[in-house]
Chain A
Amino acid sequence: EAGVAQSPRYKIIEKRQSVAFWCNPISGHATLYWYQQILGQGPKLLIQFQNNGVVDDSQLPKDRFSAERLKGVDSTLKIQPAKLEDSAVYLCASSLVSQNTEAFFGQGTRLTVV
């Protein structure tokens, strides 16, 4: 079974530039998560989708971050404009449903803002 696919694996941008990350979840998984993991910390949930609807985005910095999952499958996360403190690994995860089920993670996109 194919896992969660993310691209790109690495990205280096200058501050104030824009960047987008892409995620393809495991086929049939209704729930999709975007997490931000800063070095030395645990993953922080940015946004959670159930199919194509947002169920939680309370920790998403909406002035610069946006995410969509238009057809309930693939998802993109965008940062515009980027700040130095956005340097982190952005992890996408998916699960069949949300409660009491395992979330499978992609390998992440390592973003460096210089």
Chain B
Amino acid sequence: RKEVEQDPGPFNVPEGATVAFNCTYSNSASQSFFWYRQDCRKEPKLLMSVYSSGNEDGRFTAQLNRASQYISLLIRDSKLSDSATYLCVVGSPGGSYIPTFGRGTSLIVHP
């Protein structure tokens, strides 16, 4: 089983739709969780951190389920500009703290 797994998609949704992605992780000792966004041929950029209590930033909501070992990202009222790949990152204790990326989920928002 891979350390961090994501459905690669693509998720093809119309503008205004609500879409959700999940990301599962295998290491129960994982301590930190993030969602990054990566546009085509660009570097990843932080979208939001994921806290135990969940967090919301405008149209984006991230949640953590430690019991089932997954994090989720919900995007409401999708915009064309949301089209990108969404990468989850899970930080697990190692020699220090080791961040591991999932393969990413591709989102395409169409008119």
Contacts and interface: CB of A to CB of B under 8 A. Distances in A.
B71 to A, nearest CB: 14
A100 B31 contact: yes
Interface in A26-56: 31, 33, 35, 40-45, 48, 50, 55-56
B95 A55 contact: yes
Interface stretch (B12-20, B40-48, B57-65, B76-84): B40-48
B91 A99 contact: yes
> How many A residues touch the partner, as a band?
20 to 34
Contacts of A33: 99
B32 A100 contact: yes
Given A55-B96, A99-B91, A91 B43 contact: yes
What band does the interface of chain B fall in when counting residues whose beta carbon is under 8 Å from A? 20 to 34
A25 interface: no
A56 B94 contact: yes
B101 interface: yes
A42 B96 contact: no
Interface string A80-104: 0000000000010000001110110
A40 B38 CA distance: 12
Interface stretch (A13-21, A71-79, A105-113): A105-113
Contacts of B96: 31, 48, 50, 55-56, 98-99
Nearest to B85: A42
Given A42-B101, A103-B99, 11 more contacts: A41-B104, A42-B104, A43-B44, A48-B96, A55-B94, A56-B95, A99-B31, A99-B97, A100-B31, A102-B49, A107-B42
